[in-house]
Amino acid sequence: MDAFIFDGLRSPFGRHGGVLSRLRPDDLGAAVVRGLVTRNGLAGGEIEDLIFGNTNQAGEDSRNIARHVALLAGLSTDVPGITVNRLCGSGLAALADASRCVLAGQGDLFIAGGVESMSRAPMVLSRATGAFSRGQVMEDTTLGSRFPNPLITSEFGNPSMAETADNVAGDLDISREDSDVFALASQTKYEAAKQRGFFDDEIHAVEVPAAHRKAAPEQVADDEHPRPGSTLEKLSTLRALNPDGVVTAGNASGINDGAAALLVGHADMADKLQRAPRARVVSAAVAGVEPRVMGLGPVPASRKALERAGLALKDMHVIEINEAFAPQVLGCLKMLDIAFDDERVNPNGGAIAVGHPLGASGARLALTAMRQLEAIDGRYALVSMCIGVGQGIAVVIERVDG
């Protein structure tokens, strides 16, 4: 009993504080799920469970955003929802979880994906430790550690995400120039893919409340984060975020808003859906690495996933690796002995261009990888992501020749 991806959609990805910031994350996720269900002619009650990645849960994410998304999307009230939090890898973890459920015979059809509104992530205030305490701490929930545990900090440190990427650059001799060249390639490949219409069948337009009280709601159908006018000269002038580092705002992913959803089930669902499966989930793996070099997590995770699939990197026709930071991706490629300009790597651009709404990115990567396999008549794709605090996740998918 294999697990298959039948279809998928994503929202456009918005900039921090951009057009999608006017939309609650549960509404954003629901819009994509509703679009996916409608496109496949489902009533909504056929779904066994909705498994959604989300990293925040401190504000309008409402602790269990998956259940809210299921209800808002119009699924039957007897369709439950579970929220997965493996930080940056949450959307890909949701796909792996749904696939395992199918393999275990615990359901026929699932929706797996994720959503994040980093723009609407709230500030949170700690509780007072005593009756007259003035020691409450305010933390920003947008990104990174909050209320860090002193025991973790003393043993593993508390580096920012950018610092972990600079650690990778220092350890593996990744240069600023190579990082900027990679970032420019991401922007260039994304723009070329957009111009040839690659994303047209991938993006589901969402309706966003008006910016002004008397204006009409806005239909948003385009990614907001890409910088098509990027040049190597412009990128090289940007200031490094850390002293002696190579990470800049131009060679790092963004802080973004977005959602993505995949329809996952076993082959018998093809008749009901009147749609042939598009990809088989071959294997999945997670791994841990030192938190200071969290960006290298895709290396052991990819090796495990490939070994479980009985495949090697040479068998992959597409390699999607999340572009949290250019030097982080280059470090992974170097350790995996993949050339920095390998045409299989992120052929339609990556998160440096499209953005990285944390809980949604994994599902977006799997969707893009599946569609790229179809576009080039390829067979296998490796999808991998680094994860904060030192983890990696990887999934191998196989195109179904329909």
Residues facing residue 306 across a β-bridge: none
- The Cα angle at residue 237 between residues 236 and 242, in degrees rounded to 5: 90
Taking residue 210's Cβ as centre, other Cβ atoms within 10 Å add up to 11
Q: Are 220 and 80 in contact (CB under 8 A)?
A: no
| Phi then psi dihedrals of residue 296, to 5 deg | -90, 0
Q: Are 116 and 256 in contact (CB under 8 A)?
A: yes
88, 101, 204, 225: the active-site residue:
88
Share of the chain above pLDDT 90, in %: 90
From 385, 380, 242, 396, select the one nearest 304 (Cα to Cα).
396
In a domain, 20, yes or no: yes
What's this model's pTM, rounded to 2 decimal places?
A: 0.96
In a domain, 236, yes or no: yes
Q: Is 356 a catalytic residue?
A: yes
101, 225, 266, 386: the active-site residue:
386
| Phi then psi dihedrals of residue 206, to 5 deg | -120, 150
Q: List all residues 6 or more positions away from 111 whose beta carbon is below 8 Å from its beta carbon.
A: 33, 36, 37, 47, 49, 50, 51, 52, 98, 261, 262, 263, 264
16, 68, 204, 356: the active-site residue:
356
pLDDT tens, the chain, 402 aa long: 699 999 999 999 999 999 999 999 999 999 999 999 999 999 889 999 999 999 999 999 989 999 999 999 999 999 999 999 999 999 999 999 999 999 999 999 999 999 999 999 999 989 888 888 878 888 998 988 888 999 999 999 999 999 999 999 999 999 999 999 999 999 999 999 999 999 999 999 999 998 888 888 999 999 999 999 999 999 999 999 999 999 999 999 999 999 999 999 999 999 889 999 999 999 999 999 999 999 999 999 999 999 999 999 999 999 999 999 999 999 999 999 999 999 999 999 999 999 999 999 999 999 999 999 999 999 999 999 999 999 999 999 999 986
In a domain, 149, yes or no: no
Q: 8-30: per-residue pLDDT in tens?
A: 999 999 999 999 999 999 999 99
Structural tokens at position 108: 């026929």
Structural tokens at position 124: 């949170």
In a domain, 199, yes or no: yes
Q: 254-272: per-residue pLDDT in tens?
A: 999 999 999 999 999 998 8
In a domain, 150, yes or no: no
| Torsion sign over Cα 38, 43, 48, 54 | positive
Residues facing residue 283 across a β-bridge: 396
**Domain that includes residue 259, residue range:** 4-121+159-399
In a domain, 176, yes or no: yes
In a domain, 341, yes or no: yes
Domain count, the chain: 1
Structural tokens at position 126: 């700690």
Q: 37-88: per-residue pLDDT in tens?
A: 999 999 889 999 999 999 999 999 989 999 999 999 999 999 999 999 999 9
Residues facing residue 4 across a β-bridge: 265, 280
In a domain, 146, yes or no: no
CATH number at 55 reads 3.40.47.10
